[in-house]
Structure 1
Amino acid sequence: MDGGQPSPEPAPAPGAPRAPGSSVIAPVRAVLRLRRRVCLLRKRRFLLPGAGSASAGPDSAPRTPRAGPDQPQFFTFDGAAELSSRAPRKRRRRSRVVLYPEKSRKYLPRGERHSRAQRCLLLLVAIVGFQVLNAIENLDDNALRYDLDGLEKALQRAVFGQEAAVGRIVQLLRDYLATHVHSRPLLLALHGPSGVGKSHVGRLLARHFRAVLDDSALVLQYDARHHCPDPHAAQACREELARRVGDVVARAEAEEKTPLLVLDEVDFMPPALLDELHGLLQPQRSHQFHNAIYVLLSGAGAGEITRFVLQNASRALPVRPGGGRVSRAGAAGAQAQEELRAGLRALLAREHPLWKAAAVVPFLLLDKWDVVNCFRDEMAGEGFFPEQALAERLAAQLSYYRVAGHEFAVTGCKQVVATVNLL
């Protein structure tokens, strides 16, 4: 026996009788031989290269070298030398996807988290913005009630040569009427020489407020010479004025409106009436007295205004050739206007403390072109054709201050009505 295996038994001769039990022993022996061969092949497969170099016989199969650490564990047609020369294949690391459980909370990194205080801050900003917008709309609604744009157009159309005064009056009214609640009333003091348009502006203001308020009882017009002609009855006039003002402001408070009180010829008022007016403006009075507009028309300070206009006549804009005139904001610039208001307020405050709380609006002298416009407007109102040549001829009959190429009327448009009535 070679290699530890038994030699195959000789096959029986043909035609020889078989031994009893040989039909069972032969298959068993074949199965045993197959089993031993399979076991031998398994042992040779797991042996290292070079081990067991001796041949195991003719039935033994060729040995298969065991795969080393650098050789693949699968079948290939390449030899061992070719496999060892190849570079080892790098395995790519696959990034693992992090999956959150369905019932767990997902938290952002600490730097990307949103604070709850930020949401509250945004909500607070939205609420404040809505309140501000609502307040602005309410202010606009309160100012639209008085139609200040229409008032400005009416004043500019009917009052000549007082562009700066009209603009300041409308601006003060617009600021005051922007809200209904006030801490003190508005006191407008219109000062200027005779015939420059102070009383005319007072009448236009009274007419406009009667129209927009739909109640004539909320507009009070008081003339010192007419309502209090006797200076010895100053105490009785004072009580009457206090009663009339109290009735107007009480009615306006009930209707939630702002009344208008126009007082003309204030420079002829007795000191007792000025004291009463000054008392009406005090913050100690009830709230209904704070919501009111007082317009005082006075000729006090006329000399100061006349001197200022004549000294600053060179700052006035020139007259256009052919009768046209450049629109101007008074005989002086904005800075000169402010100087005039400050000087006029200081002059009036020495006479009575009432003028310290007043918003002074000076009315300047009118030049010849403004007087011509007054004549044309009055002629049209009386039914005459407003002829330019006739208006200029009538205006030439008046007296003027002639300074620096300008002609300023001494009496303004005071004599226009009487002159047109003679036509």
Structure 2
Amino acid sequence: MRVTNRFLLYVSIACVVADAFEPITTTVVVGLGVTLGRIIYNYSQESCDSKWVAFNATGLKVDLEQKLFGQHIASRIVLKALTGFMNNAQPKKPLVLSLHGSTGTGKNFVSQIIAENIYKEGMDSSFVHVFTSELHFPHASKIDTYKSQLQQWIKGNVTNCGRSMFIFDEMDKMHPGLIDSIKPYLEYYDKVDGVCYRKAIFIFLSNAGGESITQIALDFWRAGQDRQTIDLKDLEVPLSLSVFNNKQSGLWHTSLIDKNLVDYFVPFLPLEHKHIVQCALAEMEAKGMVKNHEVADQLARDLVYFPKAERVFSVKGCKTIESKLDYYT
């Protein structure tokens, strides 16, 4: 619990006042102490107002530029999507982002960056909700129960705070049809059963579509074209089709795609050696270590890359950098 200097001052004053009172009047001071305690608790308790929920566009831009490596397309889309949505006082529907790419390319990290630049408590905010398919929805036989629970959970939390954020991880492992249960909440309705969902944010994370993204990135590399020249238009259609037609994905033939309720399909490109080096250096800095380019380069070289002959892209991206860094330092 965080207590500001202002309230610490209040408490100090209360203590001084208490010393000045005769014993017979201490009940008054005790009452004052209880009141101050309530003020401090209420001030420190997270609430759905601008003290706790406020969009930091500059912070988001800086974080994406300085902390996310090799993802020029994703950075641009996320910044524009969030800025436009958060600055719109009356959005017509919730913001729905579907993040796609292979392991370790930054999907979860971007979700964290978004949360940190909207909620004072970041991912620890009581208004940020994370669902993991294999953990929260493990049994196909219980899909009807999951649908009902998911609807009630989202409705209850948006009722509590309209500016709630819901992150669905491992969408490629979710049972097909389950995510369609939240379709009414993503529509252009003013309210659903008396609740307005228009200011909520829904983020889907999935490895589905990663193969098509990788193939396009590899085609560009083999053609000698710079990675930075890959644009959203090169990826959006094949990505959405790949996800929609993937029978192993929670978005397979989903009405969310069919009805165009996903605002942005965000592609995450496979990472190259230079990006792994950047990840290693950033992790060193995060751990309070002195940056060592030689160590970062050696760590990056020792990872597995594909295609086997060309060794262009890291198989696991930056996913194992944190644990491997302990071995190299």
Q: Extract unaligned runs of 5+ from structure 2.
A: 1-49, 246-251
Structure 1 residues 295, 315: closer, same or farther in 2, change over 3 A?
Answer: farther
**Identical positions, percent:** 26
In structure 2, what is the Cα distance between the partners aligned to 1:160 and 1:306?
16
The alignment status of 1:390 with 2:298, answered yes or no, reads no
CA deviation after TM superposition for structure 1 residue 404, in Å: 11
Give 1 or 2 for the bigger CA radius of gyration.
Answer: 1
Secondary structure of 1:217's aligned partner: coil
Whether 2:141 is the aligned partner of 1:239: answer: no
Matched, 1:170 2:79: yes
Partners of 2:309 and 2:182 lie apart in 1 by 41
* Distance in 1 (alpha carbons) for counterparts of 2:145 and 2:115: 25
The Cα of 1:263 is off from its aligned counterpart by: 1.4
Q: Write out aligned runs for 1:117-266 (5 A).
A: 145-211=54-120, 216-253=125-162, 258-266=163-171
Counterpart secondary structure, 2:295: helix
The corresponding residue for 1:305 is: 213
3-state SS of the aligned residue for 1:191?
strand
In structure 1, C-alpha distance between the alignment counterparts of 2:170 and 2:87, rounded to whole Å: 29
Deviation readout 1:376-412 (Å, 9 max, x if unpaired): 2223333433210011111111122369988321221
- What number of residue pairs does the alignment pair up? 263
1:332 partnered with 2:229: yes
Give the TM-score taking structure 1 as reference length. 0.57
C-alpha separation in 1, matches of 2:95 and 2:289? 40
SS of the aligned residue for 2:204 comes to: strand
Instruction: Give the alignment's Cα RMSD to 1 decimal.
Output: 2.7
Give, in whole Å, the separation in 2 of the partners of 1:332 and 1:403.
Answer: 24
1:341 is displaced (CA, Å) by: 0.7
Supply the distance in 1 between the matched residues of 2:84 and 2:113 (Cα, whole angstroms): 19
Paired amino acid for 1:175: G
Structure 1 position 273, deviation (Å)? 2.1
* Residue 343 to residue 214, structure 1, CA distance change in 2 (3 Å): closer
Q: Which runs of 5+ in 1 are unaligned?
A: 1-140, 318-329
SS in 2 for 1:305: helix
| Equivalent in 244, 266, 289 of residue 361 of structure 1 | 266
1:242: how far off?
Answer: 1.5
Q: Structure 2 CA distance, aligned partners of 1:238 and 1:190?
A: 22
Tell me the residue number matched to 1:371: 276
Shift of 1:346: 2.5
Distance 1:370 1:152 in 2: 19
Residues 103-127 of structure 1 deviation map (CA, whole Å, 9 limit, x = unaligned)? xxxxxxxxxxxxxxxxxxxxxxxxx
| Per-residue deviation, 1:213 | 9.0
Q: Describe the superposition over 1:160-197 as per-residue Cα deviations: whole angstroms up to 9, x where unpaired.
A: 11122111111011111222222221110110011111
**Does the CA-based 8 Å contact 2:305-2:314 persist in structure 1?**
yes
Aligned-pair CA distance for 1:290: 2.2
Alpha-carbon distance, 1:248 to partner: 2.0
Q: For each residue in 1:310-369, what CA deviation from the matched residue of structure 2 results, as whole angstroms up to 9, or x when unmatched?
A: 01114543xxxxxxxxxxxx45333xx313112211232342232332110100011100
Match of 1:341 among 236, 243, 264: 236
Q: Taking structure 2 as the reference length, what is the TM-score of the superposition? A: 0.72
